[in-house]
Structure 1
Amino acid sequence: MLTVDFDTLGVRPGQRVLDLGCGAGRHAFELYRRGLRVVAFDHAEQDLAEVSAMFGAMEQEGEVPDGAEATTVQGDALDLPFPDESFDHVIASEILEHIPEDDKVMHELVRVLKPGGRVSVTVPSRFPERVCWALSERYHNVEGGHVRIYRRTQLLDRLRAAGLRPVHHHHAHALHSPYWWLKCAVGVERTDHPLTGLYHRMLVWDMLHGPWLTRTLERLLNPVLGKSVVTYLYKPAGVSVA
């Protein structure tokens, strides 16, 4: 399940892309399939070990075009271990809401981005997220949980202050919002509730088959119920990161 639209981001084979806070690797895998040079970065060593294993399996199965590269790097998003202007693009999907010092992460992703390069930053949308917070304290108030709810305008203002310029935005994953509302209502740690189990099976079916009915329904609902807001920005020439 991809949140970032790679065509809108403007990725091309051979470019170097940082997947910042890659998690389970969903965006990194698709970038690798498209022939890019991918660096999957995260703080969690176990997640990175699994991502690295999948990179190897993809190569063995012949899913990777010539010239593509994929590596994993463990570290702190507040202090990225990369030189200035190292990447053509940066993806930061669903990580800023977890980090108290999000301004430092924004500064770092701008620092490692080449002038003219594009960034996609995604965070939970305000309305669906507020419903989750209202329904469940456990949804967000846990170690490593969500520390804030962004307004889209607030997010863009902070990214502008870091040196980026907005290009486009959209919402994604409207069908996932009711699933998380159910999870919050019945208990986010419960895995045996029949309603959430049934809804989860529907989501898996939708992701595997992509039927026109649910794809059309989600496109219509995304502006209102989209679980994520997806922003695209670029770094103008001459931006100082000192």
Structure 2
Amino acid sequence: MLTVDFDRLGVQPGERLLDMGAGAGRHAFEAYRRGADVIALDQDTDELGKVREWFAAMKDAGEVPAGAEADVKEGDALALPFGDGEFDRIIAAEVLEHIPADIQAIAELVRVLRPGGTLAVSVPRWFPEIVNWKLSEEYHNNPGGHIRIYTEEELRDKVVKAGLVFDGKDYAHGLHSPYWWIKCAVGVRNDDHPLAKAYHKLLVWEIMKNPKALQLAGKVLDPLIGKSMVLYFHKPDAS
């Protein structure tokens, strides 16, 4: 399930796209399907191994346009292993809330984005996230967990000060916020709780089948309680 709107980001075939903090690769796979030349970057070598396997399987199955390329790269968000202006499009989805030195990470994203290129950054939205923190210490207080809750103004200000122009915002995954509120209330690791199990089945149905009823519910809930906030930016042309 995607968080970033690829049409709004402006992804085109043949463009070079970086998925920074790619995790299991959901955004990298969509970019590859659209014909972009994709680099999925992460620090988790096990995840990257699986992403590489999926890239190969997609190519073998004929799911990607001819000429599109995809690869993985292990790297640090604070020192991206790329030259200045290498990428046309960059996605940083649900990453910055984990990074203590987020201003340095943002500066690196700006550095490797070409003039005229676009960036999509998604983080947990303030209201759904603050509810989770109030309900459960375990939700965020663990190694590698969320270390901050962004307001829109804070995140936008940090990226604009790094040199980009703000283009707009969106919200996603409105159906997911109640699930995490339930999980935080009954115990983050308590997967067998009846209410958590029932809601999880609903989310699996959404992901696998995407029925119209849940599409409509998402359109209503995303602006109200969408779990993720997505901000879009572009880098001014050099001229």
Amino acid of the residue matched to residue 226 of structure 1? G
Q: Deviations over 1:53-109 (max 9, x none)?
A: 111111111111101100000010000000000000100000000001000110000
Instruction: Report the more deviating stretch, 188-197 or 226-235.
Output: 188-197
Using the TM superposition, give the Cα deviation of residue 191 of structure 1 relative to its aligned residue in structure 2, in angstroms. Answer: 2.1
TM-score (norm 1): 0.97
4+ runs of 1 displaced by more than 3 Å?
none
SS of alignment partner, residue 65 of structure 1: coil
Using the TM superposition, give the Cα deviation of residue 223 of structure 1 relative to its aligned residue in structure 2, in angstroms. Answer: 1.3
SS of alignment partner, residue 123 of structure 1: strand
| Conserved 8 A contact 1:107-1:162 | yes
**2:227 aligned residue:** 227
Unaligned runs of 5+ in 1: none
The count of corresponding residues between Structure 1 and Structure 2 is 239
SS of alignment partner, residue 82 of structure 2: coil
SS of alignment partner, residue 117 of structure 2: strand
Please tell me whether residue 133 in structure 1 is matched to residue 133 in structure 2.
Answer: yes
The 1-side partners of 2:211 and 2:59 are apart by 29
Using the TM superposition, give the Cα deviation of residue 193 of structure 1 relative to its aligned residue in structure 2, in angstroms. Answer: 1.5
Matches within 5 A, 1:79-98: 79-98=79-98
The 1-side partners of 2:225 and 2:173 are apart by 8
Please tell me whether residue 77 in structure 1 is matched to residue 80 in structure 2.
Answer: no
Of all paired residues, the percent bearing the same amino acid is 55
Matches within 5 A, 1:24-39: 24-39=24-39
**1:175 aligned residue:** 175
The 2-side partners of 1:69 and 1:231 are apart by 27
The 2-side partners of 1:61 and 1:100 are apart by 40
The 1-side partners of 2:111 and 2:139 are apart by 32
Using the TM superposition, give the Cα deviation of residue 197 of structure 1 relative to its aligned residue in structure 2, in angstroms. Answer: 1.1
Matches within 5 A, 1:35-50: 35-50=35-50
Amino acid of the residue matched to residue 165 of structure 1? V
Amino acid of the residue matched to residue 174 of structure 2? A
The 2-side partners of 1:43 and 1:146 are apart by 16
Amino acid of the residue matched to residue 148 of structure 1? R
**1:191 aligned residue:** 191
Matches within 5 A, 1:3-42: 3-42=3-42
The 2-side partners of 1:238 and 1:144 are apart by 37
Amino acid of the residue matched to residue 95 of structure 2? I
Amino acid of the residue matched to residue 128 of structure 2? P
Using the TM superposition, give the Cα deviation of residue 5 of structure 1 relative to its aligned residue in structure 2, in angstroms. Answer: 0.4
SS of alignment partner, residue 78 of structure 1: coil
Matches within 5 A, 1:140-219: 140-219=140-219
Using the TM superposition, give the Cα deviation of residue 189 of structure 1 relative to its aligned residue in structure 2, in angstroms. Answer: 1.5
Using the TM superposition, give the Cα deviation of residue 238 of structure 1 relative to its aligned residue in structure 2, in angstroms. Answer: 3.5
SS of alignment partner, residue 149 of structure 1: coil
Unaligned runs of 5+ in 2: none
Matches within 5 A, 1:46-61: 46-61=46-61
The 2-side partners of 1:56 and 1:96 are apart by 29
Q: Deviations over 1:145-172 (max 9, x none)?
A: 0000000011100100111111111110
The 2-side partners of 1:161 and 1:215 are apart by 36
The 2-side partners of 1:194 and 1:20 are apart by 36
Instruction: Report the more deviating stretch, 129-138 or 53-62.
Output: 53-62
